[in-house]
């Protein structure tokens, strides 16, 4: 069996074991630094494209060889793991509340959202629609989602952060449409939830229901996801529809100061976060269908992103914490709408 592996395999195995053992005795004297970016579940390819660029830039500037390790899972699970001792030097999440939890526990600076531009969110996205090729049900906006002949797929807002954005986007749209009439907005969202064919627990399950099982006329998820799914399937099989109004979805990041100081990585972790705002990085981020702020890149990629008016959670619901409390807590608005 071993003969079939190239010789370096065995050596690397021993190396890995040695590193693992050194890691827990704390005796490793690192000549080169390594850094751990703890991130949300669907960002792997994005950071796999960004990290080599930063590593090269850093080596040119300082001569130091960096290793950037990535961890990807649901961002609430990741936040919890960091609280329990996962040594993250920085976090790149898709939920503001999950960074806030780290701030509340002293892992992240209290004013982390002001430390970096655009609410510490180098890129953003929004809930958009994926419809079947040719858009047979002619779905153009939120109003079409409450039509009786339209069947919708998106995950359960109780378990999926992605679906919370969809729910809040629809709610914000309805409040806007009915000029702040809360009862009318609840009625609107209730009708929309009534059209949902299947509530999967997460984004991936919803995608499977829509693409592989052929359920529903429209899948609602982040615009970047819509484009990534479209790219992975046959050309023309699906179309993207961006509604005229949607909700701003931020991707907040922060230095985990408590860990970075302990591991002596504060300077490089901060440089990494700033790098994400550079034109070079923003180009890469935009190529993964996320919207960015860099004016140069915005202009160059204007064709890629249809115009949309974005409402923020803060504008409509006060804050994420308040939205969580009012809408998603047990007995909240979501539960009431579900019941009706």
Partner 1 sequence: MAKPILIALALMFLAAMVLLPVVAIFDRAFAEGAGAYLAAIRDPETLAAIRLTIIAAMIVVPVNIVFGVAAAWLVARYRFWGRRALLILIELPFAMSPIVAGLCFLLIYGAYGPVGAALEPYGIQLMFNLIGIVLVSLFVTCPFVMREILPVLQVTGEAEEKAALTLGANGWQMFRHVVLPNISWGLAYGTVLTMARAMGEFGAVSVVSGAIRGRTMTLPLQIELLYNDYNATGAFAAATVLTLLALVTLVLRSVLNRFGPNREAHA
CB 284 to partner 1: min, Å: 17
CB 102 within 8 A of CB 233: no
State which residue, 39 or 195, has the beta carbon closest to partner 1: 39
- Residue 238, CA distances (Å) to 74, 87, 134, 145 in order: 27, 41, 8, 17
The yes or no reply on residue 23 touching partner 1 (CB under 8 A) is: yes
The yes or no reply on residue 270 touching partner 1 (CB under 8 A) is: no
Site string for partner 1, 28-47 (x = CB under 8 A): --------x----xx-xx--
State which residue, 47 or 188, has the beta carbon closest to partner 1: 47
The CA distance from 278 to 300, in Å, is: 15
Site string for partner 1, 2-21 (x = CB under 8 A): -------x--xx--xx--xx
CB 141 within 8 A of CB 131: no
CB 48 to partner 1: min, Å: 9
Question: Would you call 152 exposed, middle or buried from its count of C-beta atoms within 10 A (0-12, 13-18, 19+)?
Answer: buried
CB 82 within 8 A of CB 91: yes
CB 338 to partner 1: min, Å: 26
State which residue, 72 or 158, has the beta carbon closest to partner 1: 72
Residues in the interface with partner 1 (CB under 8 A) total 32
The yes or no reply on residue 309 touching partner 1 (CB under 8 A) is: no
The CA distance from 134 to 142, in Å, is: 18
CB 187 to partner 1: min, Å: 35
State which residue, 128 or 185, has the beta carbon closest to partner 1: 128
Of 247, 232, 219, the closest CA to residue 310 belongs to: 247
Distant-in-sequence, close-in-space partners of 336: CB < 8 Å, separation ≥ 6: 186
CB 130 to partner 1: min, Å: 14
The vertex-149 CA angle with 144 and 151, nearest 5°, equals 80
State which residue, 26 or 63, has the beta carbon closest to partner 1: 26
* Interacting residues with partner 1 between 44 and 103 (CB under 8 A): 44-45, 69-73, 78, 81, 83-87
Tokens representing residue 179 in the block = 């000029």
Chain residues in the site for partner 1 (CB under 8 A): 9, 12-13, 16-17, 20-21, 23-26, 36, 41-42, 44-45, 69-73, 78, 81, 83-87, 204, 228-229, 232
């Amino acid at each position: 069996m071993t003969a079939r592996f190239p010789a370096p395999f065995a050596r690397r195995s021993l190396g890995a074991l040695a590193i693992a053992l050194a890691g827990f005795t704390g005796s490793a004297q690192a000549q080169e630094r390594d850094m751990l970016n703890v991130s949300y579940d669907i960002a792997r390819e994005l950071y796999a494209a960004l990290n080599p660029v930063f590593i090269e830039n850093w080596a040119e500037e300082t001569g130091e060889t960096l290793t950037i390790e990535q961890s990807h899972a649901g961002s609430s699970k990741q936040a919890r793991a960091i609280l329990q001792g996962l040594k993250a030097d920085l976090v790149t999440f898709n939920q503001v509340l999950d960074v806030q939890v780290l701030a509340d526990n002293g892992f992240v600076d209290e004013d982390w959202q002001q430390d970096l531009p655009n609410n510490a969110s180098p890129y953003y996205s929004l809930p958009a629609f994926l419809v079947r090729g040719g858009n047979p049900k002619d779905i153009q906006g939120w109003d079409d989602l409450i039509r009786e002949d339209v069947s919708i797929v998106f995950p359960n807002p109780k378990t999926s952060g992605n679906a919370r954005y969809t729910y809040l986007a629809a709610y914000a749209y309805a409040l806007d449409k009915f000029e702040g009439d809360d009862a009318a907005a609840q009625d609107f969202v209730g009708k929309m939830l009534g059209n949902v064919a299947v509530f999967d627990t997460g984004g991936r399950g919803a995608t499977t229901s829509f693409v592989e099982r052929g359920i529903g006329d429209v899948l609602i998820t982040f615009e970047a996801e819509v484009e990534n799914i479209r790219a992975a399937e046959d050309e023309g099989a699906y179309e993207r529809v961006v509604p005229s109004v949607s909700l701003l979805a931020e991707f907040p990041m922060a230095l985990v100061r408590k860990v970075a100081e302990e591991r002596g990585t504060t300077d490089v972790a901060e440089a990494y976060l700033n790098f994400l705002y550079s034109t070079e990085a923003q180009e890469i981020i935009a190529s993964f269908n996320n919207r960015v702020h860099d004016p140069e890149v915005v202009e160059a990629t204007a064709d890629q992103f249809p115009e949309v008016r974005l409402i923020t959670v803060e504008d409509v619901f006060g804050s994420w914490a308040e939205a969580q409390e009012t809408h998603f807590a047990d007995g909240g608005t979501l539960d009431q709408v579900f019941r009706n």
